[in-house]
Amino acid sequence: MKQQLPVLLTCAGMCHEAELAEDIAQSLYQQGKVDKVSVVAITAGSFIHQQKVKEASSIVVFDGCALNCAKLSLDKLAISDVYHFDISKLLQKVSCVGEKPSLLESLQVTQMINHTLFSVLPKQYSLGKGKGASEDIIAIFPCADR
């Protein structure tokens, strides 16, 4: 049986980009837009977590950097049909390189992710319910410089 909500895996790294990935993931999870699965449990071989991912109707992956550890964890399970976001690349698009992202940069990355998810996920998962993809977003970023 397919999961009703998209499943989200997030980088567990210690860089600023990983912190932002987790902040965005928590925001989506708290809004009821996604269900989260621990990438550490997947990597450790937890059958329950692996099964949840395999049964998911959609899988979203947030990686903090170019190592793409979360995506590689799924590759090892032969799961490649995912919506993958490398937060470091998205931050480069908003001119944030090698430093802690500002609140504005964090919000710009969030908007890019939500715009992409709004356009690719089935309508029952849409993030805007008919509005612009960023209008329904409330985000708190403890990792952002203010």
pLDDT tens, 5-21? 899 999 888 888 999 99
Nearest to 41 by CA among 4, 66, 9: 9
**pLDDT (mean) for 76-90:** 93
* Model pLDDT for residues 87-131, shown as the tens digit of each residue: 999 999 998 776 788 889 999 999 999 888 887 666 655 555 444
**Which helix (H) or strand (E) is 142 found in, with range?**
none
- Please give the pLDDT value at position 12: 81
Angstrom CA distances, 17 to 25, 38, 51, 65, 86, stand at 12, 18, 28, 7, 9
- Please give the pLDDT value at position 13: 83
The partner residues of 10 in beta bridges, in order of sequence, read: 62
Q: Kindly tell me if the per-residue pLDDT of 46 is higher than 50.
A: yes
- Please give the pLDDT value at position 61: 96
Q: Kindly tell me if the per-residue pLDDT of 30 is higher than 80.
A: yes
Q: What angle do CA 22, 69, 45 make, to 5 degrees?
A: 95
**What pTM was computed for the model?**
0.80
Which of 10-14, 35-39, 98-102, 140-144 has the least mean pLDDT?
140-144
Nearest to 12 by CA among 35, 47, 50, 43: 43
